[in-house]
Amino acid sequence: MKILVPIKRVIDPSFKVRLKPDHSGLDMTYMKMVMNPYDETALAAALQLKEQDVATQVLTVSCGTDDCVETLRMSLAMGADETLFVEARYAMSPLVVARLLKAVAERENCSLILIGRQGMGNDGNQVGQMLAALLGWPCLPFAETLTIEGTNARARCKTDQGFDMLETVLPTLVSVEIGLAAPRYASMPNLMKAKKRKIPAIAAETLGVDMEMDVAITQLRSQPERGRGVILPDAAALIDRLRTETRII
Amino acid sequence: MATLILAEHVEGRLSEATRSAVTAARSFGCDIHVLIMASETCAETLSQQAAFIEGVTRVLCVAAPHLETQLAEDLAVQTQTVLERGSYRYALMSSGYEGKRVMPYLAALRNTDLVTDLIKIEEEDTFVRPVYAGSLLVVERLKSAVKLLSIRASAFSPAGLQAMAAPIEMVAPLPPNLAVRLVERSGKHSSRPELSQARIVIGYGLGVGKNEVPNIEKLADKLNAAIGVTRAVVEEEMASSEFLLGQTGKIIAPELYIALGISGAVQHLAGIKDSKVIVAVNKDPNAPIFQIANYGIVGDVRDVVPALIELL
């Protein structure tokens, strides 16, 4: 069984993003790019399944501009067997990304997709569910645990009230929560080995998918910041303020 | 032309998020249809509840045993047939987990993009949503003929009630999608209010320690508050992940948020910074949480919480 793990390159979530003074885009000075932490978890979960002999191969894929290659190289250093770079020269909507990933999953004959539940930053939370729908596969969304036995997949999926334990049959797509598996770290020798690997690339256009988008970003805005309030000496002063100023209690 | 709202419900009660979705829909100025998809036992009461929400002009009711599980595939396919036979301009629901499961799936079935988690409707095709854990806003224009949207419920106040009930129309159910099977569902019956709906929420971080949790619960009981936690608390398995507040957990906007022993990582602040009033208690005077708190106490949670309980 071959597992596909889509990888997104994102701004390190511990960095605070800012707009350029003219609001034309993000100020990328001093920003560090990393593998989307959710995808990092998905990759670790896929590697675990391979170590348990449930899967035979782990393939990572990224769709985007040239700098994705660096993130894909990192996925090899972390333990992925193969990788594929789908070269696209512009920003794509979640549906276009899902179309490209569908084409890759079919071309590569994958029967399990592990994908981070959302890309940190854009926080859209769409691609996984869209990809499952396009493939006509069942979806195990927001999985906190995952067990695969034979062709059966079972996952504990987060819901508004708690969780659902869901079960289905492969092929299937699992969208992954942080915590499903501990992220892997790339050792220095593996990083060196990955550096020498050639990253196979294909142009998005050759996958024969519709690249048309229905959604466009028209503007970026900064959020008004909350001001700093007052420091109070003790609990009594706090209760007093809450009662007289806010009237909440 | 109409807006279709996918109703959300738990144990036979419509959720407040559905009423928030109605408020959002009212700004479009078209008819508002609420789609109830539920088991036969509660479909009728849910339809009655929806019919009296102010602004609703029609309730569409699909009742079938398999809809009790509310699995995304069933809801998306059923909604798709409703959208196809009516003349709809928008379809929306809240961006909770259920909305996150259903709406992108529905969008892909319809071969369209969607805008998720929007907090403001600027024009009939232009919407504002937070990105980067809420540090930025992005304005998106959606050009599809039927616009699919999910709203952040806390950004829209729940619609009130109307005196005249909207008509209820039954819709034939589709056969179930049997690919996914629900094995078990966690049903917690907490005496506390729901995190996303509570007027007052208390959050605590790992710094407070296990021994303080009973006191925090006592304080929450006194204030009729919900309790949320940081990621570190979930990772230490001191609380389960449905209580997680932040970018990857619940995003709340209560009237009062009390942060106990929480330093204020960006990911946590993303979930709570729309609270009306923020109170922070932390030993570290330089904790970032103090930069956004209306009221702060530099002190030990172990001293402050018992004092608060005493004074309330």
3-state secondary structure of B25: helix
Q: Is A65 on the interface with B (CB under 8 A)?
A: no
> Do A80 and A26 meet the contact criterion of CB atoms below 8 Å apart?
no
Q: How many CA atoms lie within 13 A of A74 on its CB side?
A: 21
pTM: 0.91
Please report which confidence band the pLDDT of residue B158 belongs to, taking 50, 70 and 90 as the band edges: very high
Give the pLDDT mean for B142-163.
95
At B190, phi and psi to the nearest 5? -85, 145
Query: pLDDT tens across B26-73, in order?
Result: 999 999 999 999 999 999 999 999 999 999 999 999 999 999 999 999
**Given a cut of 90, is residue A223 above it in pLDDT?**
no
| Domains B2-170 and B200-311 in one fold | yes
Give the pLDDT mean for B11-22.
94
CA B100 – CA B273 distance, rounded (Å): 21
Chain A partners of B10 at a C-beta cutoff of 8 Å? Answer: 160-161
Contacts of B76 (CB under 8 A, 6+ apart): A133, B102, B105, B106, B109
Q: Is B210 on the interface with A (CB under 8 A)?
A: no
Using CA coordinates, name the residue in chain B closest to A233: B297
- Name the residue among B116, B130, B285 with its Cβ closest to that of A126: B116
Residue A55 tokens read as 């899967």
Domains (range + CATH), chain A: 2-218 (3.40.50.620)
Chain B partners of A219 at a C-beta cutoff of 8 Å? Answer: 138-139
CA A166 – CA B185 distance, rounded (Å): 9
Chain B partners of A220 at a C-beta cutoff of 8 Å? Answer: 136-139
How distant is the Cα of A38 from the closest Cα of chain B, in angstroms?
A: 10
- Name the residue among B115, B116, B296 with its Cβ closest to that of A229: B296
Q: Is A188 on the interface with B (CB under 8 A)?
A: no
Using CA coordinates, name the residue in chain A closest to B112: A214
**Given a cut of 70, is residue A232 above it in pLDDT?**
yes
Provide the pLDDT for residue A133.
97
**What share of chain A in percent tops pLDDT 70?**
100
**Given a cut of 80, is residue B23 above it in pLDDT?**
yes
**The Cα angle at residue A193 between residues A187 and A198, in degrees rounded to 5:** 135
Give the pLDDT mean for A216-221.
92
| Cα–Cα distance list, B194 to A225, B119, B191, B272 (Å) | 27, 21, 9, 15
Q: Is B304 on the interface with A (CB under 8 A)?
A: yes
Q: Which CATH architecture is the domain B200-311 placed in?
A: 3-Layer(aba) Sandwich (3.40)
CB contact under 8 A, A218 and B290: no
As a whole number, the mean pLDDT across chain B is: 94
CB contact under 8 A, B297 and A238: yes
CB contact under 8 A, B143 and A216: yes
Domain extent listing, chain B: 2-170, 200-311
Query: pLDDT tens across B66-110, in order?
Result: 999 999 999 999 999 999 998 999 999 999 999 999 999 999 999
**Given a cut of 90, is residue B134 above it in pLDDT?**
no
> Do A170 and B142 meet the contact criterion of CB atoms below 8 Å apart?
no
Q: Is B293 on the interface with A (CB under 8 A)?
A: yes
**Given a cut of 80, is residue B227 above it in pLDDT?**
yes
Please write down the long-range contacts of A187-192, taking CB distance under 8 Å and 24 or more positions apart: A187/A77, A190/A76, A190/A77, A190/A78, A190/A79, A191/A74, A191/A77
At A179, phi and psi to the nearest 5? 105, -15
3-state secondary structure of A235: helix
CA B162 – CA A242 distance, rounded (Å): 34
- Fold (topology level) of B2-170: Rossmann fold (3.40.50)
**What share of chain B in percent tops pLDDT 70?**
99
